[in-house]
Amino acid sequence: MNRYQRYFLAIIPIAMLMTLAQPAFATAVELSVEDSIALALKNNYDIKYAKSAREKSYWAMKEAKKNKGISIDFTHTDQRYNTPPAETGTSAYEYTTNFDNQIALTLPLYSGGKLENQIKQAKLDLKVAELDVEAAKQQLKLTVVTEYLTVLEYLNEVRVNQETVKNYEEHLKQVKDKFDLGLVAKTDVLSSQVDLASSQDNLVKAKNNYTNAVAALNNAIGLPHATEVTLKDEFAYEKYPKTLEECLQYAVEHRPELIQYEAKIASANYDVDIAKSGRRPTVNLTAEQDWYDSHLIGSKNSNWLLKLTTSINVFDTGLTNSNVKQAQHNVDMVLDKAGQQRDTILLNVREYYLSMHEAEKRIDSNKVSVEYAEESLMIQKARYEVGIGTNLDLRDAVLSLDSAKKDYIQALYDYNTNKVKLEQAMGLPVQ
């Protein structure tokens, strides 16, 4: 056995021990809602894309500004050509070698408003891109908080199902004991077994829903899907301080998409003026300095040129007019889209606000229902134990408690999800 084989055999058990020991060191990641949002803002691809798009718009604005500035070009030309006898008046070709160096300076003095409006448009595009980042953050917060709340919902549902299974197990034991003493019929045992099996089935489903919800949350915040998480926060209920009218007004003033449309409308109007620039003259200043020689590098002879060029389109078969008409109709299209977006956003604000308050009312009523159901179950257990209650009454009490707790969880979930949807619809900034 050579040295490399010995090294290989020594590494194998070490690698196996590290592989076997790895799960023992794995711990669940503790997450609050704020932790989850922070991770998502750091890892989410939509945010990264929006930020890159903003940087692209920034440099597009820089480009638009440079188009109105001075441009300087240097050109070096090496050429050799011949002149035929017919042109030289001799019987042979003449050969010429020329090396030329030229520096040309160009400055657009007036573009008919085209370059100036393109700069204004580029600034508006940058503003839209910056608002895209903010809108992406708000949408991401909505996604993350909703996923977090969904994990909480299924976690609480698992707990309720576990309690229900436990209640049915305890009841089945009581029924079997009574059946062994000949106090109840076999049908009581069978019906209790069916209830237990059904509750176990619901528990399995709830656990699977919880696992899938955790994977969805991990996906939203940029963690591996199989990462175990421990949630720091529980369902909370805090009365929302704003009125519906205040929420609607806030959305009009702060929703990024509505502010974007203001910029898009202004940009569309600039398009009209850019199209009209085809009817206006353009003025350009050109300055050139040239050096040329028959020997490399071509610097012996020198000449310069200063030129002011004014041009105007006299006739273009109606092309400019067509461009103007297209731009004007585009303004109308953007205005229509802006109105549609505004109506949709305000409708969403109204729906989420009213749904939040509807869930708020259910929280109170379902909390009372849970208290009544817990008391009813306790009474039915005592009645059944002393033989004055029926099997059906106790089974119904267990089922009623299960239903009341799940309704309470659902009300809390609906309240909190509608609250975060409302905040996104209003355009609340993400800190």
User: Six-digit token pair at 429?
Assistant: 């900034």
HSE-CB at 101 with a 13 A cutoff on CA atoms is 11
**Residue at 174 is within a domain:** yes
**What domain range includes position 320?**
26-79+109-282+316-426
Range from 64-68, 87-91, 267-271, 279-283 carrying the lowest mean pLDDT: 87-91
The CATH number covering residue 233 comes to 1.20.1600.10
- Burial of 377 from C-beta contacts in 10 A (0-12 / 13-18 / 19+): buried
The model's pLDDT over 201-240, given as tens digits with 9 standing for 90+, comes to 999 999 999 999 999 999 999 999 999 999 999 998 999 9
Per-residue pLDDT, averaged over 341-365, amounts to 96
Give the mean pLDDT of the chain: 91
b/e per residue, 118-150, with b = 16+ CB within 10 A?
Answer: bbbbbbbbbbbbbbbbbbbbbbbbbbbbbbbbb
pLDDT band, very low/low/confident/very high, at 294 (cuts 50, 70, 90): confident
72 domain-assigned: yes
The rounded distance, in Å, linking the Cα atoms of 227 and 260 is 38
Please count the structural domains in the chain: 1
Residues with Cβ within 8 Å of 232's Cβ and at least 6 positions away in sequence, in order, are 30, 31, 32, 35
pLDDT in tens, 62-91: 999 999 999 999 999 999 988 888 777 787
Closest of 236, 290, 293, 287 to residue 79, by C-alpha: 293
Q: Is residue 372 part of a domain?
A: yes
Residue 6 in domain: no
User: Distance between CA atoms of 230 and 403, rounded to whole angstroms?
Assistant: 26
Q: Please state which of the ranges 161-165, 181-185, 193-197, 282-286 shows the lowest mean pLDDT.
A: 181-185
Which 3 state secondary structure label does DSSP give 282? strand
Is a pLDDT exceeding 60 seen at residue 14?
no
| pLDDT value, residue 27 | 72
Residue pair 131/253 in contact by the 8 Å Cβ criterion: no
* The pLDDT of residue 300: 84
> Considering the domain boundaries, does residue 302 fall inside one?
no
- The predicted structure's pLDDT at residue 18: 42
pLDDT at site 7: 43
pLDDT at 91: 77
Let me know if residue 250 belongs to a domain.
yes
233 lies in some domain: yes
pLDDT of residue 2: 53
Let me know if residue 86 belongs to a domain.
no
